[in-house]
A and B are shown apart, each in its own frame.
Chain A
């Protein structure tokens, strides 16, 4: 069935997200990599929900809600940082207090 390949794709996508977070300096791109990791986890939930019941799909629903809230708050933080430092490069943003 499709469970094995789905879990494999999910593992690969999650690892690509991890590499992206470590590889980039742009805060917005790092944020997109976090979304990529959340999506990889969602794929695991959906793949396993075929074997273990529909609760997995309900969890995907919750993960999406949290991802939406996280995106709104995180992008607001990035906008506030940009106003303060005129950059979204994380190498230049290394103080908690500006």
Chain B
């Protein structure tokens, strides 16, 4: 966020924490709903709330792309496949039994503990930018240009490789999903 009045900062923090809580609750609902369509829609809710968080973290362009690509393209593809295969109707539950639940819970808690331990790692001194540097950069150059300059200068070759990968993925998807070539 750029320079904000104190009350603006309070509101921004409130919105941030609300989006965080909604995202986590939606994620839990996403993995526990029996119907795949309900899971997909809860996941869309998670993606929207993540986009709100991105805006509050000064990543405006990423927030817009998140809505366009994730919620707009990828989730539509998921819903399309669910409806194409007609697996959206409620059937017998696909959630594993007590043993599977226990294993999943333990593995998830171990993963969470490891990730929380990683939070204690200190950033190397001298690398961190001063507070608000990214916000100022976005303000001066515009949200798109701030991303576009490194993307097309420093990361030009990865960018071109990505386009080749997308082409390969398109060809692969057509080959795999086609009945007879």
Contacts and interface: CB of A to CB of B under 8 A. Distances in A.
Nearest to B171: A73
B14 interface: no
A42 B52 CA distance: 13
B181 interface: no
A18 B112 CA distance: 10
A25 to B, nearest CB: 4
A71 B69 CA distance: 11
A17 to B, nearest CB: 8
Nearest to A82: B85
Interface residues of B, number: 82
Interface string A44-80: 0011011111110110111011111111110111111
Given A8-B116, A28-B87, A89 B94 contact: yes
Nearest to A71: B74
Contacts of A68: 69, 73-74, 166, 169
A34 to B, nearest CB: 11
Nearest to A77: B176
Interface of B: 13, 16-17, 20, 23-24, 27-28, 30-31, 36, 39-40, 43, 46-47, 50, 53-54, 56-59, 61-62, 65-66, 69-70, 73-74, 77-78, 81-82, 84-85, 87, 94-96, 100-101, 103-105, 107-109, 111-112, 115-116, 118-119, 123, 127-129, 131, 134-135, 137, 146-147, 150-151, 154-155, 158, 162, 165-166, 168-170, 172-174, 176-177, 179
B164 to A, nearest CB: 11
Given A19-B105, A50-B57, A57-B147, A43 B31 contact: no
A5 interface: yes
A70 B78 CA distance: 12
Contacts of A55: 150, 154-155
Contacts of B115: 10-11, 14-15
A87 B30 CA distance: 21
B30 A54 contact: no
Given A16-B31, A65-B166, A66-B162, 15 more contacts: A5-B16, A11-B112, A13-B24, A22-B96, A22-B100, A29-B31, A33-B31, A46-B62, A54-B137, A54-B150, A60-B59, A61-B151, A73-B169, A78-B81, A89-B94
